[in-house]
Amino acid sequence: MIEGILIGLTTALTIQNILMVMVGCFFGTIIGMLPGLGPMTAIALMIPITYGFEPATGLILMAGVYYGAVFGGSTSSILLNAPGVPGTVATSFDGYPMAQQGKAGKALAIAAWSSFAGGTLSAIYLLFMAPSLSKVSLSFRSPDYFALMILGLTAIAAFSSKGQFLKAMMMVVLGLMLASVGQDSLSDITRYTFNNMNLTDGISFVLVVMATFAMSEALTIILKRNDPTSAAKQVSLTELGSIKINKEERTKMYKTIPRSSVIGFLIGVLPGAGATIASFLAYGMERNVVNDQEKEKFGKGSVNGLSAPETANNAACSGSFVPMLTLGIPGSGTTAVMLGALLGFGVQPGPRLYMTNPEIFWSIIMSMYIGMVILLILNLPLIPYIARILAVPKNYLIPLILFFSVTGIYVMSFNNFDIYLMIGIAVVATYLRLYDFPMPPLILAFVLGGLMEENLRRSLLLSNGSWEFLWDRTLTACILATTILIVVWHIYKTFKKKN
């Protein structure tokens, strides 16, 4: 392994490769900040450029874009409630409220440090455990994924406190309904498309996020413009607040980051999950382990609630390299594009990669450390300037948000129907917001619901229609038991409080 580290360092530390990490991180950050344009599109368009390079150099550049985008995506989540990439949706749950309390600088700093720690820790896990981790990638079967999605849904509890339970559940149902639009993933039957072919591919996750977060947020601000409290808020927002993280917050992060990085990394290693699921699960899990006082703050600007998903999404990003490099299995669209590029270089992924091309494997891991440091240097000093966005008067900022939402969704599909659909959903979401319906449960249900249905039906197919798969495997049973324990614990707590 020490030999490997040395090989990796000699490759990663050449001037050209350091330059590539910098270029990749820089572009990734920008792509991440802009809503709509994701790392997958950026990497796909970048491939023709990389073909003159050494394989390691090309991959280092692409990896830089990937984790740079996940790093940068948190900025727009926190400042504008407009997640730049799907993996940073959960960041906005607590990051945006925190920014609205006049602590934008602090929120950005917490996100940056958490991302840095998540990325660095997971690169360490990669270094020590990559060969054995490929077994973890393959240990999950459809029933286990189903159980994992159920466990993820318990995160909804974070948004259902204080008489909000019914509203949260209604949003869950709405999210599940939206997820079922389009071609059914198992049997080629279209559902709820009203014979409109624009709907046969289903509604994209990014579209739902932009409509229910960015656009409806902007519309709500317009509707509430004469509200005296919001005018007062505007004044307070022009002051950025300190970007220093105080001791109490640091103690919280010291606890959150290690556990979230492990969850995020493990979920990232699974080919059927990914950074988005990882961030949601880490968010939900974090809420289950913190004390009651902190639990109350979740969804309202909790430090733990911001740090957990930010750590997890970056950790998952590194984790997703495991199945791609050691097995040749792409777990997401982004890694599929990178795998294609790798094959284009004439490099065969798999367990033999350590032997045939050790410099590729080790230099990618080494470049991750360099990349994380670069991202931190790139992001921290910029925070005061980036956070100034909030000081932009609302009558300039709102049109800008609307403009970026519309163009962002258009460049994703080049289909104007998506723009109409987004506006439609945003209008409905705005009404729901005015009546205090929480949006995060809808997003959670939308993401987890589709995967949950698919894995449930596949499990049933595999077990010939029998429900035994729920307890047949130890792993499935353990995950489900944990879920039940969490739910029972919550119910018990609620009753205890009432009496």
Q: Output the smallest distance, CB 133 to another protein, in A.
A: 14
Q: Output the smallest distance, CB 295 to another protein, in A.
A: 35
CB-wise, 216 or 332, nearer to another protein? 332
Q: Output the smallest distance, CB 347 to another protein, in A.
A: 10
CB-wise, 389 or 419, nearer to another protein? 419
Residue 462 has which token pair? 């595999």
* Helix (H/G/I), strand (E/B), else coil: 199: helix
Query: Which residue from 104, 431, 160, 263 is spatially nearest to 94, judged by alpha carbons?
Result: 104
Instruction: Please give the helix or strand (H or E) that residue 190 lies within, else none.
Output: strand 190-191
The whole-angstrom separation of Cα 283 and Cα 310 is 9
CB-wise, 293 or 464, nearer to another protein? 464
Query: Which residue from 152, 216, 77 is spatially nearest to 451, judged by alpha carbons?
Result: 152
CB-wise, 138 or 262, nearer to another protein? 138
The whole-angstrom separation of Cα 370 and Cα 366 is 7
CB-wise, 200 or 246, nearer to another protein? 200
Helix axes 55-80, 333-344, angle to 10 degrees: 160
CB-wise, 414 or 435, nearer to another protein? 414
Q: Output the smallest distance, CB 43 to another protein, in A.
A: 7
Whose tokens are 């609620």? That residue is: 494
CB-wise, 79 or 451, nearer to another protein? 451
Q: Output the smallest distance, CB 201 to another protein, in A.
A: 6
Q: Largest Cα–Cα distance in the chain?
A: 70
Contact residues toward another protein (CB under 8 A) are 40-41, 43-45, 48, 51, 137-142, 183-188, 195-198, 200-201, 271-272, 323, 327-331, 333, 335-337, 339-340, 342-345, 348-352, 412-415, 417, 454, 458, 461-462, 464
The whole-angstrom separation of Cα 374 and Cα 26 is 9
Phi/psi at 191 (5° precision) = -125, 140
Question: How many residues are present in the chain?
Answer: 499
Q: Output the smallest distance, CB 400 to another protein, in A.
A: 25
Residue 16 has which token pair? 């050209």
Q: Output the smallest distance, CB 474 to another protein, in A.
A: 14
